[in-house]
Chain A
Amino acid sequence: MIRGLLAPVTALVLSVLACGDAVAQKGPGAPILSGPLAKLDIKPAQVDTAKGTSKGTLTVAMHFALDPGWLDPLEHSYAITQQMYDYLVHDTMIKPMPYGYVTYGLAEHVELAADFRRAAFRLRPGLKFHDGHALTTADVKWTYENYKGAYAKLFHDKLEHIQIVDDRTIVFHFKEPFIDFMDIYNGGVSGIGWIVPRHYYEKAGRDGFKAKPIGAGPYRLVSQQAGVQMTFEAVDDYWRRTPATKTIVVKGIRDPATRMAGLQTGELDLAFGMTGKVLPRLMADPNLRYDPNFTGPWWLMFPGYNEPGSPFRDKRVRQAVSLAINRPFLVKQETQGIGKPWGNWISSENRDALQGAEAPVPEYNVEKAKQLMAQAGVPDGFEVDYLPFPPYFDMGERIITDLRAIGIRGKLQSLEGPAFRGKINQGRKGVPGNRTIVQNIDPRAGGSKNNIAVYAVCDSPSSFVCEPQIEALWKKHQASLDLAERERLIKSIQKIMLDEHYFVPIYWNPFVHGIGPRVLPEGKAVSKYWDTLNAPYPWPWEVWEVKADR
């Protein structure tokens, strides 16, 4: 289920206006900055002032142990998982919502100078933290300055100074054009936009804050057992609306069979990561529902491919690998037919991602693959190590079986999650040898350029690809301030990567979520909770509705 093309954040129109009720996109209020502004496409927050009552308990099972550190935005990790907790306990200036990839949150009005050197925000009136303290621009400034998490260095290096105009208005001044600022300040990408209460953090300290956090979000943490369970309760006077569910319990359950059992007995209402062998059971159970929840595409990488002696140096071998994978059958076996064979390694929910005719799904042709192998001088194949993405070892086995048909004999190296990440995050250093195939997936947000910045350029520590053609294009991209040109360059880079088969895309992964019978609305309509783009989890949480407790 493709959710349609994402409305791009860019289209250049200079707006010079003064007054209120013009373009509803920009939100209410007088302008803050002088001079020409960049066009931003930020959707309005859907505020519902009717005072409802929250009811019921929603029990959610995450697929790994919970980390209290996720409750602290100041040390925000690069991992997208933390955002689940951000959406529960905290709130941010702009964030992805079902209404748009960038939607107003705490901010009601945002401006970005056309030269990208200034960014201005105006907060809504009457914002409060859970303990009743007002949320002001002093907190926004403090959060920015004390931020130590993902992209911290970038934010601090670029910043010149922060200007507090008044309690609700703040302007960031940058040393040089910070064209990506709005992209990364967005709550969907880094943690710096999630506002932390300065008075409380300074009092409680790091540990105290993680044990009992306070934020401006729709839920507050009432209790936690570190690693096991966190219990959240609705904040009735959250500015956007009263949360529909009173209590949300999040459990960390590593084991898919256990999560499945929990769904079946009714102890769980929502379970993440119901993939592989539990999926048929989930689909067959009439009491349960599921959402496909497409995250990102799988792809194969070839560490050390450009070294002499590597069998993957020859483009024909890489192409043969692509031709040998029976994607339709794989999708049927591994994901019960839900997954979609895909032609790109970047999800189409990202801006500027190639898709459709521009990135066609590679064909399945074992004969042609064998011919290519023969032409490349390895008709009998060779042996490789295969590093699957944990815990999808079954999928790794399936792909190895496919490759065996053209002579590539893979030996599965099944590492556990952190060990695998430790290896590939280090790029070339972490995966020695040049006879390895790595299977990876990375649904990161922030536009296609983010994905390229990590995996396709020479100076990224996690990259296995280093090609002069791509470097040249990338340099131009980084130097350019013209959004249309940037888009062109990003697409060209993707085209090269795919045409040369540096990466072999497989299928778009459904990270299926299982839903219990107590979640409302009944039937298929429940899928509306997954409408937020680039979100592997169904946030926001304040809209979730369950039947009242028995």
Chain B
Amino acid sequence: MATVLERAPSLGGLSRVARRSYRLVADVPAIPLLIVAALTFVAIFAPVLAPHGKLTPVKPTPEQCQAKFGTPSCPYVDNLPPFWFKGGSIDTPLGTDFLGRDVLSRLMYGARISLVVALTGTLFAGAIGTLLGVLAGYMGKWWDQIIMRVTDAWLTLPSLVFAILLSSVRGPGVWNVVLILALVFWSRYSRAVRGEVLALRERDFVKLAEINGIPTRTIIFRHLMPNVMNSVMVLFSLQVGVAVIIEASLSFLGVGVPPPEPSWGLMMAQERESLMDGKWWLAVFPGIGITMLVLSANMLGDWLRVRLDPQLRNR
């Protein structure tokens, strides 16, 4: 009996994942990975990399003050264009915003917020959703019914509701957005995972484990979870993109990250009116940032899905 179990393909599920991961990495698309890596690097080291603070206006030179206000000194100079335009300065390479703050620095800090929020939020959502999906798929009967009905109902709730709710209960804040993402998106995972588990449940290695009296908890965590990780990872990478856009949209509507924190979505929202006034760089750069991040995440996710395709096909 021991030998049969040894040969059972799912045992050591974790090392299986590790081996598989190695094979995967060998084939990764370079550019999206580089972009994501670069953004992550910037996000982590923003305090060191950023030329100026994220909240304090840049100290202006007398020439700048003279040019804008006609006096040699002023608290700050707002709406400086990027350095390649007339009037711009290499000290603030991407210009300054309405409060005289350096756009590049705020973009860097903003990367932090966008990445942290999207990753953490999706992670939480994934964790909750996967667990619930596995429970629903494996335990069946009442577990299944209740979890699935709640999932169905929950899927139709708009994220805006949670945004306003959290904002009024806890006051506006960055972590609200993480909570919102977790609260709204877990339902996407539980559906997919449940489907996977329903199929997995019939497989030999699971049946063998059951016969051998291995406790349910072990089956769930050691056998089932690692095997659904494939689809979860794919879903995760695709949801990160969605999360970034949701955070941007919520901040745009005023119920996401509150000012003066520099979230990319918030920067776009705040400078929308400047966009109409010809100061396009204030809203376009964060927009490009969002697009690049989401694009890269999506491409990585796509590549992951293709890579893991044979496993998915088994259903």
- Using CB atoms and an 8 Å cutoff, list the residues of chain A in contact with chain B: 256-257, 260-261, 276-278, 280-281, 284, 326, 329, 332-333, 391, 393-394, 396-398, 400-401, 404, 412-416, 419
Contacts and interface: CB of A to CB of B under 8 A. Distances in A.
A396 B168 CA distance: 19
21 contacts: A277-B98, A277-B270, A277-B271, A277-B273, A278-B273, A280-B277, A281-B277, A284-B277, A332-B69, A333-B98, A393-B270, A394-B98, A397-B99, A401-B99, A412-B258, A412-B259, A413-B171, A414-B172, A415-B168, A416-B255, A419-B168
Contacts of A276: 273
A413 B260 contact: no
B78 A333 contact: yes
Contact of A257 (B78, B99, B168, B276): B276
Interface in B106-122: none
B56 interface: yes
Given A277-B271, A416-B254, A397 B259 contact: yes
Contacts of B168: 415, 419
Given A281-B273, A398-B99, 18 more contacts: A257-B275, A276-B273, A277-B270, A277-B273, A278-B276, A278-B277, A281-B277, A284-B277, A326-B75, A333-B98, A397-B99, A397-B259, A397-B260, A401-B99, A413-B171, A414-B259, A415-B168, A416-B164
B249 interface: no
B308 interface: no
A415 B167 contact: yes
Interface of B: 56-57, 69, 74-75, 78, 98-99, 164, 167-168, 171-172, 254-255, 258-260, 270-277
A531 B279 CA distance: 35
Contacts of A412: 258-260
Contact of A404 (B56, B164, B255, B276): B56
Nearest to A393: B259
Contacts of A261: 276
A396 B172 CA distance: 15
B260 A281 contact: no
A257 B273 contact: yes
Nearest to B275: A257
Nearest to B164: A416
Contacts of B277: 277-278, 280-281, 284
Contacts of A333: 78, 98
B260 A400 contact: yes
A284 B276 CA distance: 12
A413 B57 contact: no
Nearest to A394: B98
Contacts of B260: 397, 400, 412
A401 B172 CA distance: 20
Contacts of A260: 273, 276
B172 A413 contact: yes
Nearest to B277: A281
A280 B98 CA distance: 12
Contact of B258 (A281, A329, A332, A413): A413
A415 B172 contact: yes
Contacts of A393: 259, 270
A373 to B, nearest CB: 19
Can you list the 9 inter-chain pairs with the closest CB atoms, starting with the nearest?
A277-B273, A281-B277, A414-B258, A278-B273, A257-B273, A257-B272, A397-B260, A393-B259, A277-B274
A234 to B, nearest CB: 34
Contacts of B172: 413-415
Nearest to A414: B258
A396 B275 CA distance: 21
A44 to B, nearest CB: 44
A277 B276 CA distance: 10
Contacts of B254: 391, 414, 416
Contacts of B75: 326, 329
A491 to B, nearest CB: 35
A271 to B, nearest CB: 13
A262 to B, nearest CB: 11
B259 A401 contact: no
A445 to B, nearest CB: 30
A265 to B, nearest CB: 12
A291 to B, nearest CB: 19
A397 B271 CA distance: 14
B273 A256 contact: yes
A421 to B, nearest CB: 13
A393 B272 CA distance: 14
Contacts of B57: 401
A281 B259 contact: no
A303 to B, nearest CB: 15
Contacts of B258: 412-414
Nearest to A409: B55
A384 to B, nearest CB: 14
- Which of B75, B98, B164, B273 has the largest count of A CB atoms less than 10 A from its CB? B273
Contacts of A277: 98, 270-271, 273-274, 277
Nearest to B261: A412
A332 B75 CA distance: 12
Contacts of A416: 164, 167, 254-255
A276 B99 CA distance: 12
A419 B277 CA distance: 30
B157 to A, nearest CB: 20
A99 to B, nearest CB: 37
A385 to B, nearest CB: 9
Nearest to A388: B259
A497 to B, nearest CB: 29
B78 to A, nearest CB: 7
A16 B291 CA distance: 79
